Amino acid sequence: MRIIGMALAMSLAYSSVSAGELFQNLKDDGISVNVWGRTWTIAAVDDMPDYYSATRAPYGVDGLNPYSPPARTRTHQAIRAYKGATGCKVDFPSMYQLISGVFMAKLVCLK
C-alpha cells in the first residue's frame, strides 16, 4: 500500500489534475479506492463543508475471499482510504464514526 500511495502522490504531482479538480471529483460522486482487499468510497459531505466521508462497500460487493489479507480494524482501513484517495492526512481529533459505520473526518493537506 505504501508503494501505491507513493505512486499516487507522484502521479498527482506530475499529472495535469490539480488539487482543485481532485476535490471537485470528491464533491461530485466520490473516489473509490481499494484498501486491504476492501473497497472504500471517499466523498465530500454536503452539510459539513470541511468534512469528508469514508464508506466501506458491503461484503456482497467485495466478496469474502478466504485467501484475502488478515482483517484490520475499520478505523485503520478508513485512514488508509482517505490517504489513498486524496493524498492528505486525517485530522485525528476530528475523526468519528456514525452508527451506520461511515467515518467522517477533516483532512490536512500539506504542500
Residue range 60-70, pLDDT digits in tens: 565 666 666 66
Total domains in the fold of the chain: 1
Confidence of residue 4 (pLDDT cuts 50, 70, 90): very low
Residue 107: the pLDDT is: 92
Q: How many residues does the chain have?
A: 111
Strands of the chain (E only): list them: 31-35, 38-44, 51-56, 89-90, 96-97, 103-108
Question: Helices (DSSP H) in 53-97: which residue ranges?
Answer: 59-62, 74-86
Can you give the residue range of the structural domain that contains 96? 2-108
Three-state DSSP at 70 gives coil
6 pLDDT tier (thresholds 50, 70, 90): very low
Q: How confident is the model over 47-69, as a mean pLDDT?
A: 76
Bridge partners for 21 per DSSP? none
Q: What type of residue is 97?
A: Q
Is the predicted pLDDT of residue 50 greater than 60, yes or no? yes
The confidence score (pLDDT) of residue 41 equals 92
